[in-house]
Amino acid sequence: MLRGLVICPDSQLAEQLDQALSGTRDITVVRDYDRYPDELEFMRAVRANAPQILFLSAESVPKALNLIAIIEREAPGLQVVAISRSLDPALLLEIMRAGIREFLAAPFDPAALSDTVARVAQCAESLPSVVDATDQLFAFLPSKQGVGTSTVALNVAVALSHHPGVPGLLLDMDLSSGIIGFLLKLNNNHSIIEAAENAHQLDESLWPQLVTRSGGLDVIHAGNLNPDFRIESSQVRQLIEFARRHYRTICVDLSGNLERYSLEVMHEAKYIFMVVTSEIPSLHLAREKLSFLERFDMASKARVILNRSHRKSLVTPAQVENLLGVPVAFTLNNDYQGVHRALQAGRAVEGNSELGKQFEALAAAILQKKQPRQESEGKKRFAEYFSILPGRYSLASGDRKSAV
Strands across the sheet containing 2-7: 27-33, 2-7, 53-57, 79-84, 102-105
Question: How high is the pLDDT of residue 350?
Answer: 93
Positions of the chain with pLDDT under 50:
369-404
Closest to 234 (Cα-Cα) out of 266, 264, 204? 264
Question: How high is the pLDDT of residue 404?
Answer: 29
Question: How high is the pLDDT of residue 389?
Answer: 31
Transcribe 173-194 into DSSP letters.
--TTT--HHHHTT---S--HHH
Question: How high is the pLDDT of residue 96?
Answer: 87
Is residue 290 within 8 Å of residue 274, measured between CB atoms? yes
Question: How high is the pLDDT of residue 292?
Answer: 94
For 178, left (φ over 0), alpha (ψ -120 to 50), or beta? beta
N residues, the chain: 404
Closest to 317 (Cα-Cα) out of 284, 357, 288, 283? 283
Domain annotation for the chain: domains and CATH numbers? 2-126 (3.40.50.2300), 136-401 (3.40.50.300)
Cβ atoms < 10 Å from Cβ of 306: 27
Contacts of range 40-44, beta carbons closer than 8 Å, 24 or more positions apart: 41/204, 42/67, 42/70, 43/70, 43/74, 43/75, 44/204
Angle of CA points 89, 92, 95, to nearest 5°: 155
Question: How high is the pLDDT of residue 131?
Answer: 65
Per-residue DSSP letter, 152: H
